């Protein structure tokens, strides 16, 4: 696929699908403070984050961030996965660097960092209470399963935080 300026974009992984929880978002945090509005990631199956504004969906302009740094993709169960696109300075979840080109699940409250940027992206699903009840019904085990979780495997972690819950009207 091509970006707005004709630059080649990474292919959408075959496992990516329409989001189950369409209001999933990354809350941007810089120096311990919220930095602008949350970035909606629930609007499409796969998004690209990087330094090249015309070739990505989510621009991140720090010099240590690659032009096309990572993808965020949804699987059929509603999970969001991040894949580093082989960036020079890497991608970390909760301070642990992830392997390049390997989809890694983002759980409620996980913190994503790119390169040497101090900007952090906190994963929030912003579910309505009805969506949360359905989520709890489907996924009774709230503990993170050991080892990697593959897209579509139904592997969930502990999402007990109510930081990102909404009321039934869809408001936070």
Identify the pLDDT of residue 149.
61
The alpha-helical segments, DSSP class H, found in the chain are 129-138
Has residue 113 been placed in a domain?
yes
How do residues 113-123 score in pLDDT, each as one tens digit? 999 999 999 99
Residue 1 falls inside a structural domain: no
Q: In the chain, which stretches have pLDDT less than 70? A: 1-7, 21, 127, 131-172
Average pLDDT of the chain?
78
Assess if residue 160 is contained within a domain.
Answer: no
The answer as to whether 30 is a domain residue is: yes
Q: Is the pTM above the cut of 0.85?
A: no
pLDDT of 16 reads: 87
Q: How many domains does the chain have?
A: 1
CA distance 121 to 91: 11
| Structural tokens at position 7 | 């630059």
* 38: in domain: yes
Tokens of 94: 């909760």
Rounded CA-CA distance 79/151 in Å is 8
């Amino acid at each position: 696929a091509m970006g707005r300026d004709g630059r080649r974009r990474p292919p959408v992984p075959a496992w990516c699908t329409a989001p189950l929880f369409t209001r999933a978002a990354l809350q941007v945090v810089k120096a311990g403070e919220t930095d602008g509005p949350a970035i909606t990631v629930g609007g499409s199956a796969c998004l690209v984050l990087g330094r090249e504004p015309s070739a990505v969906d989510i621009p991140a302009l720090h010099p240590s961030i690659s032009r096309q740094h990572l993808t965020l993709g949804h699987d059929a169960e509603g999970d969001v996965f991040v894949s580093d696109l082989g960036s020079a300075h890497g991608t970390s979840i909760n301070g642990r660097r992830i392997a390049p080109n390997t989809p890694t699940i983002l759980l409620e409250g996980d913190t994503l960092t790119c390169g040497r940027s101090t900007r952090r992206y906190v994963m929030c699903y912003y579910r309505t209470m009805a969506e949360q009840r359905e989520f709890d019904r489907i996924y009774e085990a709230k503990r993170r399963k050991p080892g990697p979780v593959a897209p579509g495997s139904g592997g969930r972690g502990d999402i007990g935080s109510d930081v990102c819950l909404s009321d039934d009207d869809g408001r936070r």
